[in-house]
Amino acid sequence: MADPTIDAFREVLGESLDEIRRGIADLSVAELNAAPAGGETNSIAVIATHALGATLSWLSLAMGAPLPERDRDAEFRTVAAEDFSDRVEEKIARCLALLDSGTWDPARMGTPNWNPRLATEPRTAAYAAAHALAHVGEHVGHLHMTRELLLAR
Of 125, 120, 139, nearest to 24 (Cα)? 139
**DSSP letter (8 states) at residue 124:** E
Q: Which residues of 83-101 are buried (b: 16+ CB within 10 A; e: fewer)?
A: ebbebbeebbebbeebbee
**Digit-coded pLDDT (tens) for 20-73:** 999 999 999 999 999 999 888 999 999 999 999 999 999 999 999 999 999 999
Q: Residue 84 contacts by C-beta under 8 Å, 6 or more apart in sequence?
A: 24, 29, 32, 45
**CATH (domain of 134):** 1.20.120.450
pLDDT, residue 1, reads: 59
pTM listed for this prediction: 0.95
Number of domains in the chain: 1
Alpha-carbon gap, residue 126 to 62, rounded angstroms: 7
pLDDT for 100-128, tens place per residue?
887 799 999 999 988 888 888 999 999 99
Domain that holds residue 105: 4-152
